[in-house]
Amino acid sequence: MRGFFRRPHSVAGRPQAVRPSFRDVRFGLLVAGETVNSIGAWASAIVLWGFAAYRFNASPYAVSLTIVCWAAPPAFLSPLLGVWVDRIGPRKALVAGYVAAAGAALGMAAAGSLPLLDIAAVGYGIARALAGPAANALPPRIVSHDDLLAVNALLGAASSAGAVVGPLAASVALALSGFPAAFILDAASYLVGAAVVLPLPLRPAPLPEQTGWRRELLDGFALVARHRGVQLIVAMSAAVTFTSAAFLVVEPLYARHVLHRPPSQFALFEAASGMGAILAGLAIPRFKARLTGRRVLGASGACYGMAACLFTGTTLVPVAYFGAFTWGVTGAVFGTVTITTLQRAAPVQAHGRIMGVATAIQSWVETIGLPLGGVTLAGLGIRAGALALAGVAILAGLTCLARAELPWRWRRYRKVGHLLWPVRAAAPSRSGPRAHHRRAGRVARAVPLPRSRTSGTGRSRRRYGGKR
């Protein structure tokens, strides 16, 4: 095992950036560790509700309280813990979150009463509130900006593998050793995740200005609220998250009352969706040059809603399988494009706070989407209600597509991303030796420039046409 975590070094002796290739041992270990971590987390989440009901004979109210203890901390604490992520760095924060989650999982395994289980679930939720923003802020610090899409796609495939294998791992653990075994498996998976993250080299980044927790927390909300690009990304993510959460209510009812299938059919649909997400995550790195920008973000969100319509809008089981598979593919594409666009748009020294705010918004939307999904199905029926809930993602995607083109004066962008984070530019001068060239540049996107202006090195196209 000696040299297993050996880091490649450049000529100057500094560690090289991680490459999104399984030939890079560090990246291969990271993907493997995140896969194991995701499997353990899914197994623990599934077992937790049954543990409260079977071991302690908990009432429905008590089980609901345990779920709140597990799910509420990310909704409240992610923005605050995002400040700490920016202060100490995403790698240290992620390792701390994983170790804390492992301790909380062991606490749930050893809980001798329902109150102790709820306390351990609160600790587990706090650890998730720290690990979530840190995990989303880590890729820009270990790879170059050109490799972000590939890294996010492969890590997303690892997470989707956990969604497919996690329930199976939970059932095996329950069959072999009972409820505590699933929590112990989760704790071990978190320690594996911490072990593969710890040796990763970090790229240099500007140090955040420490002005106090309260001021830095408010800065995180201000960064999301004041910039149109980040607002659009967060709004799109919230819309798709709402549809996804509402379909947790739709899927079992659709399989039971529309297709008239046994409960196992619901699990098979989930497996088909997960397989689509895994295959899409593995294929996205091959098309990374084409999967960037606001148009792809809006189109993928709209396609996610259309795939949901295809999934629940039919009475034919083969068509429903194809819809579930397509739903997983579009979900993986949307998730990868969303997080990559947000990472490129936001300043790297504020990634923890921005990711914390985005995580909190998604948690709240998931909480709201579940009851609203049930109310919609009760009022409109299963098939019509499912189409209405899928329409939220479609409408958000079409709105994003409509807002993809910005006025000419907002066409200047930072180098971290050529599609977002616009900076207000002054109007070009109407006088001077090159005024006619500047005026001609205003219509360069609508009307092709003459041959004389685009020949040679292409400097005129870059100057007047902007980045394409």
Q: Tell me the domain boundaries of the chain.
A: 17-143+176-200, 213-426, 438-468
Cα first-last separation, the chain: 48
Nearest to 339 by CA among 77, 137, 116: 137
At the top level of CATH, which class does the domain 213-426 belong to?
Answer: mainly alpha
**201: which 2 tokens?**
């080299």
**Please, are residues 130 and 85 in contact by the beta-carbon 8 Å criterion?**
yes
**120: which 2 tokens?**
């351990």
What pLDDT score does 4 carry? 31
List the Cα angle 70/74/80 in 5-degree steps: 140
What pLDDT score does 16 carry? 66
CA–CA distance, 160 with 334 (Å, rounded to integer) = 13
CA–CA distance, 200 with 206 (Å, rounded to integer) = 18
Decide whether 17-143+176-200 matches 213-426 in CATH topology.
yes
What pLDDT score does 404 carry? 62
CA–CA distance, 7 with 226 (Å, rounded to integer) = 40
Per-residue pLDDT of the chain (468 residues; tens, 9 = 90+): 333 333 444 444 455 667 777 777 888 889 999 999 999 888 888 888 778 888 888 788 888 888 888 888 999 999 999 999 999 999 999 999 999 999 999 999 998 888 999 999 999 999 999 999 999 999 999 888 888 898 999 999 999 988 888 888 888 888 887 788 889 999 999 999 999 999 888 888 777 777 788 888 888 898 888 877 888 889 999 999 999 999 888 888 888 888 888 877 878 888 899 999 999 999 988 876 567 777 888 899 999 999 999 998 888 889 999 999 999 999 999 999 999 989 988 888 889 999 999 999 999 998 888 888 889 988 898 889 999 999 999 999 998 888 765 433 333 434 333 333 444 444 444 444 444 444 444 433 433 334 433 344 433 333 334 443
Nearest to 467 by CA among 420, 411, 426: 411
Per DSSP, helices labelled H in 313-434 are 317-345, 351-380, 382-402
What pLDDT score does 365 carry? 93
Using the structure block, give the residue that is written with the tokens 């890294």. 151
CATH number of this structure's domain 17-143+176-200: 1.20.1250.20
CA–CA distance, 451 with 29 (Å, rounded to integer) = 51
305 sits in which H/E element: helix 294-312
CA–CA distance, 245 with 75 (Å, rounded to integer) = 15
CA–CA distance, 262 with 279 (Å, rounded to integer) = 27
CA–CA distance, 433 with 435 (Å, rounded to integer) = 6
What pLDDT score does 15 carry? 54
CA–CA distance, 254 with 231 (Å, rounded to integer) = 34
The torsion defined by the Cα of 349, 350, 356 and 358, in degrees rounded to 10, comes to: -130
**419: which 2 tokens?**
């599609």
Q: What is the DSSP letter of 212?
A: -
Nearest to 302 by CA among 271, 326, 274: 326
CA–CA distance, 377 with 175 (Å, rounded to integer) = 35
SS3 413: strand
Whole-prediction pTM value?
Answer: 0.78
